[in-house]
């Protein structure tokens, strides 16, 4: 069963993965209309247009960079390198270890660094400028950040030695969680709280999009929240106290203009309330 799953994701065509992505977006867009977390007064189609524009750029970057991941997988397999190739464990444990380690290096680590290194933050900042978090917000990433994440995904593959099927399974689950955790949907608190000790839940991640520190620099998880608990980077707050965006870019002309969003990494740095990078 598990081997069949890995084989499926190893051979699944890009068109099928695209169907998964579009279907996920459609599902959560429907849920946002039925059970919204917040009643936000904004032009949803225009907002989606901005975020989907970044998605198209992301697809181009990923198409070009996919060869890096393939090369990393082939290198690991040919040289029997990587942590997963050095241990003899049951297939189910191989998958769990692989997914958690890929998530640690390919998502949590680079996300944490983007909040600790000024020039990286300037690229990641675009994701935080969104004042209306919904399912399309998970697609809002500057192309410069996409390159950084691609490089760390490649690093994760080299360190783990994960098979191509496992990498594709991870990326598919990652895309689902990006949609789930950003979607403007009510998620039962009775489920959210216990699940958030292991997985990144909608409420757990939305705290990361609060507009000021210290919440902005917390809850970095992508799929697994365990890394935030292990490294003491998790925090909590009530959903009704959330205010989306980032305090340094609250003006509409800055967070809703694609040209300006693309140029933010090359503009002067602005220190948020509470300071950042000791400024």
2 lies in a domain? no
- Residue 129 CA to residue 117 CA, distance in Å, equals 18
- Domain that includes residue 133, residue range: 53-266
24 lies in a domain? no
27 lies in a domain? no
The sign of the CA dihedral 32, 123, 244, 180 is positive
| CB 25 within 8 Å of CB 136 | yes
For Cα atoms 240, 210, 248, give the angle at the middle one, nearest 5 degrees: 135
The sign of the CA dihedral 234, 115, 224, 37 is positive
4 lies in a domain? no
15 lies in a domain? no
> What SS3 class is residue 199?
strand
The pLDDT profile of the chain, 279 residues, written as one tens digit per residue, is 889 999 998 888 877 877 888 888 899 999 999 999 999 999 999 999 999 999 888 888 878 888 899 999 999 999 999 999 999 999 999 999 999 999 999 999 999 999 999 999 999 999 999 999 999 999 999 999 999 999 999 999 999 999 999 999 999 999 999 999 999 999 998 999 999 999 999 999 999 999 999 999 999 999 999 999 999 999 999 999 999 999 999 999 899 999 999 999 999 999 888 767 765
Task: Specify the pTM.
Answer: 0.94
Conformational region of residue 39, where left means phi above 0, alpha means psi within -120 to 50, and beta covers everything else: beta
Side-chain-facing half-sphere of 239: CA atoms under 13 Å: 19
6 lies in a domain? no
Report how many domains make up the chain. Answer: 1
Per-state percent for the chain, helix, strand, coil, to nearest 5: 65, 0, 30
For Cα atoms 67, 157, 207, give the angle at the middle one, nearest 5 degrees: 105
109 lies in a domain? yes
Q: Which residues lie closer than 8 Å to 204 by C-beta, 6 or more apart?
A: 181, 192, 196, 219, 221, 225, 234
- Residue 263 CA to residue 260 CA, distance in Å, equals 5
84 lies in a domain? yes
Smallest CA-to-CA distance from 163 within 67, 68, 72 is with 72
Q: Could you give phi then psi for residue 163, rounded to 5 degrees?
A: -70, 165
List, in sequence order, every residue forming a beta bridge with 36; answer none if it has no partner: 185
């Amino acid at each position: 069963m598990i081997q069949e799953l890995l084989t499926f994701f190893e051979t699944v065509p890009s068109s099928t993965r695209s169907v998964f992505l579009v279907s996920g977006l459609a599902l959560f867009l429907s849920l946002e209309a039925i059970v919204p977390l917040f009643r936000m007064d904004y032009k949803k189609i225009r907002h989606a247009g901005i975020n989907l524009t970044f998605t198209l750029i992301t697809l181009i970057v990923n198409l070009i960079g996919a060869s890096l991941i393939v090369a990393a997988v082939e290198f690991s397999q040919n040289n029997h390198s990587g942590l997963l190739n050095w241990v003899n464990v049951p297939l189910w444990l191989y998958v769990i270890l692989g997914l958690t380690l890929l998530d640690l290096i390919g998502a949590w680590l680079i996300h944490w660094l983007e909040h600790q290194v000024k020039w990286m933050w300037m690229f990641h900042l675009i994701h935080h400028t969104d004042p209306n978090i919904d399912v399309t917000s998970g697609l809002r990433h500057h192309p410069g950040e996409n390159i950084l994440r691609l490089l760390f995904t490649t690093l994760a593959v080299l360190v783990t030695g994960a098979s191509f099927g496992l990498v594709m399974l991870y990326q598919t689950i990652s895309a689902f969680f990006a949609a789930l955790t950003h979607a403007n949907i009510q998620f039962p608190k009775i489920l959210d709280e216990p699940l958030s000790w292991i997985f990144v839940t909608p409420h757990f991640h939305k705290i990361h999009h609060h507009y000021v520190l210290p919440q902005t620099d917390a809850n970095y998880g992508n799929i697994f929240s365990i890394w935030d608990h292990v490294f003491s980077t998790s925090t909590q707050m009530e959903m009704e106290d959330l205010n989306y965006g980032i305090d340094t870019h609250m003006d509409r002309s800055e967070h809703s203009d694609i040209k300006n969003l693309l140029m933010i990494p090359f503009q002067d740095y602005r220190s948020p309330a509470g300071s950042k990078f000791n400024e």
